[in-house]
């Protein structure tokens, strides 16, 4: 009986389980952060990336043209200040690291038109002039009613 119990215990021991294997938490995917959501042509824009390999050189391109490089710090953050393109439109921004790191991040940069400083044309009329005419007419009417009331109350003179 002891042998059977010992065999059953030995057979059940692997089924009791063990602790789960330790896995590294997944890192956040690299992303580009653009400092201004809708910059105007020629304004300064800061491009920042996160989760790149520390110490690697990150190359930034806008529509395929290299605009600069930055070195990722110990936390994998790199940033670069660029001048926004002169033409209004949507541009593709790509940040790439060297092959040994092998990371790429992509975003879009929307350049907004410069707001117009020309005032809007005046349409319609100025409503204060008709209001002034109405007030003058009202005052004249009040004056005439007052004169009529005073004349009515005045006793008729003997002739």
pLDDT tens per residue across span 12-41? 666 666 665 554 554 678 999 999 988 999
CATH number at 50 reads 2.60.40.10
Q: Which H helix or E strand runs over 4?
A: helix 2-12
Residue 152 placed within a domain: no
Domain span including residue 87: 27-111
Residue 44 placed within a domain: yes
Residue 90 placed within a domain: yes
Say how far apart CA 105 and CA 48 lie, in whole Å.
Answer: 10
The model's pLDDT over 42-95, given as tens digits with 9 standing for 90+, comes to 999 999 999 999 999 999 999 999 999 999 999 999 999 999 999 999 999 999
Q: Are 114 and 41 in contact (CB under 8 A)?
A: yes
Say how far apart CA 13 and CA 5 lie, in whole Å.
Answer: 12
Residue 122 placed within a domain: no
Q: Are 39 and 84 in contact (CB under 8 A)?
A: yes
pTM for this model (two decimals)? 0.59
Q: What total number of domains does the chain contain? A: 1
């Amino acid at each position: 009986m002891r042998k059977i119990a010992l065999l059953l215990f030995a057979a059940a021991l692997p089924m009791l389980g063990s602790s789960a294997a330790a896995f590294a938490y997944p890192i956040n995917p690299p992303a580009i952060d653009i400092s201004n959501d809708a910059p105007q042509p020629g304004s300064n824009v800061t491009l920042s990336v996160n989760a790149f390999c520390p110490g690697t050189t990150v190359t930034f391109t806008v529509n395929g043209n290299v605009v600069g490089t930055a070195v990722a710090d110990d936390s994998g953050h790199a940033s670069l200040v660029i001048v926004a393109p002169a033409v209004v439109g949507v541009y593709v921004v790509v940040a790439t690291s060297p092959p040994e790191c092998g990371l790429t991040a992509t975003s879009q940069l929307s350049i907004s038109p410069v707001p117009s400083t020309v005032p809007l044309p005046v349409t319609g009329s100025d409503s204060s002039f008709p209001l002034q005419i109405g007030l003058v007419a009202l005052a004249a009417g009040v004056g005439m009613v007052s004169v009529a009331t005073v004349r009515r109350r005045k006793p008729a003179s003997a002739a």
